[in-house]
Chain A
């Protein structure tokens, strides 16, 4: 399994080419290429209306595209191909449990596959155990809490032991506390099962927990695909950068390298990054805001393992949930820091003030510029 490149190493389970979907003559999906690799959890991330759920329904053979083709294990398949669809199972945003008991719900797909009653009961019990709901077989499916219902929906899909699991915003209806717990559980279950999963969400935190690879969608197109670290730390265009809350990736050149730490010249500054890339090549560099620590510029800096110390000017302060986002600039280098509100007050940060920004060489993501198609 390859999780850091644009395409899979071997034959992808699903490969889609030149997909287009139009509703009322409006193009809602226009994807040149999409691979789902064997064993990966591939998150399709994007704002609402970006076409990610449509992509899931097309790849899940639940809907027919206007044009394009889908290959399953290298063979072309059509929407509605029953044999191909039997390899997949889906969990949607709303759990859509059927009237009846939890057991009847989880056993639904098994009954369709003519699995014997005895085996059904055994597999249902096992699936419910796996999602942490053992023993509720006889309860009404429609009287469960939101979190329980979504776990049952996951069990209903997992019990089929699908090769491909399709998850369409499975947690977005839940309140934050339950969601946090379930994200962790889902992530654990997905990796333990070794199932290949296509996971659609608009939530970046969720994506970063569950994903091996991420594709970002915008206005019906896949604008970025790659390993989760690379995609979430190295935005290659202004839109992606804005979407993931970073500044666009910086462009620099490796000027030296020692013990796995490269010295990268960006504008008039030098940044140190842990990367095996050799000197002389042009790279894209990304630093996630939560990895940047700020200190008062005039004070002595604390002893720290952070290799990078830069004096930077505060350009803007933007309120974002629990933290503030501080836009920083120095000669030719721009980055952002996520800082608690208390720290903003303590440091007396305001537009125009100067601060010391610290970040570790290991938190700097670096990629050869030539390897990113349509880079900055």
Chain B
């Protein structure tokens, strides 16, 4: 039992003392997942709208890809990104060829280091969260009656205005899509471990730090980060509930 009491005591002490290392890890986690979810929203909401509201050639194929992506194990996403971004991967090859072609005769360009960077973690997290945002958005948009969109059009809405109205009508579902996507990446450990490398001060995020500190027996630090993760989940869920209830005055 002592192990737990000591860990809690240590966690509280670390957080209260404002340890730079702890808060640095938290800030990096929020930054990486925050930027990733913004990118995923930028891709996933328009794509989800198209899938949910339009009939087009290849729609079913896109749907299959998205659904598969929703079930993609993050560690596999990490593996794929790792292979693409590694020094002998296709991205590095294109990069080097391009750089050499642009400055012929100079010293050969070294392969860029793309793995074990924040950029690599962003790519992995966008890959994981975009299908989640897209899939849940598509379902939410699909549940808005087609006649409602026809109604908007009949009052003079352009395609864009019709889309804005539809997303607004489906906003609970779209918010759920964003929360699902964010929850998926902030708590994810496999992919960021593989492509980020858990480098202290540069790519160490909460989940990878928890793994490391637990292995080292630093339960207090691991638990402190665990508290913050739970806290984030709590804040997001409550924020969402509040948003939903504040809107419910005008709901059915």
Chain A residues proximal to chain B, CB less than 8 Å: 57, 60, 62, 82, 85-86, 88-90, 92, 94, 96, 98-101, 108-109, 112-113, 140-143, 156-157, 160, 166
Contacts and interface: CB of A to CB of B under 8 A. Distances in A.
B154 A166 contact: yes
Contacts of B147: 92, 94, 96
Contacts of B154: 60, 62, 85, 88-90, 92, 166
B151 A99 contact: no
B24 to A, nearest CB: 42
Interface residues of B, number: 21
Interface in B164-181: 165, 168-169
A96 B250 contact: no
Given A99-B168, A100-B250, A142-B250, A156 B155 contact: yes
B156 A142 contact: no
Contacts of B156: 82, 85-86, 89, 109, 112-113, 160
A96 B157 CA distance: 15
A96 B148 contact: yes
Contacts of B19: none
B251 interface: yes
B169 A89 contact: no
A112 B250 contact: no
B55 interface: no
B155 A140 contact: no
A142 B150 contact: no
A340 B153 CA distance: 47
B215 interface: no
A96 B166 CA distance: 12
Contacts of B161: 112
B63 to A, nearest CB: 21
B252 A62 contact: no
Contacts of B165: 98
Given A99-B250, A101-B250, A92 B150 contact: yes
25 contacts: A60-B154, A62-B154, A82-B158, A85-B154, A85-B156, A89-B155, A89-B156, A90-B154, A92-B147, A92-B151, A94-B145, A94-B147, A96-B145, A96-B148, A98-B168, A99-B168, A99-B169, A108-B152, A112-B155, A112-B157, A113-B156, A140-B249, A140-B251, A142-B251, A166-B154
Contacts of A109: 155-156
Top 8 A-B pairs, shortest CB-CB distance: A90-B154, A109-B155, A96-B151, A140-B250, A96-B148, A112-B156, A142-B252, A86-B156
Contacts of A60: 154
Interface of B: 145, 147-148, 150-158, 161, 165, 168-169, 247, 249-252
A89 B165 CA distance: 17
Chain B binding surface SS class? helix
A57 B250 contact: no
A82 B247 CA distance: 32
B148 A108 contact: no
B150 A57 contact: yes
A99 B148 contact: no
Given A90-B154, A100-B250, A112-B157, 6 more contacts: A60-B154, A62-B150, A86-B156, A96-B145, A99-B247, A142-B250
B9 to A, nearest CB: 49
Nearest to A89: B155
Contacts of B168: 98-99
B155 A141 contact: no
Interface centre among B148, B154, B169, B251 (most CB of A within 10 A): B154
Contacts of A113: 156
Nearest to B165: A98
Contacts of A166: 154
Contacts of A157: 155
Nearest to A157: B155
Contact of B155 (A90, A94, A99, A142): A90
A94 B51 CA distance: 25
A82 B147 CA distance: 19
Contacts of A140: 249-251
Contacts of B249: 140
B55 to A, nearest CB: 12
B251 A99 contact: yes
Contacts of A112: 155-158, 161
Contacts of B155: 89-90, 108-109, 112, 156-157, 160
B162 to A, nearest CB: 10
B247 to A, nearest CB: 7
Contacts of B153: 62, 85
Contacts of A82: 156, 158
A85 B151 CA distance: 12
B79 to A, nearest CB: 43
A98 B247 contact: no
A352 to B, nearest CB: 51
Contacts of A100: 250
A141 B157 contact: no
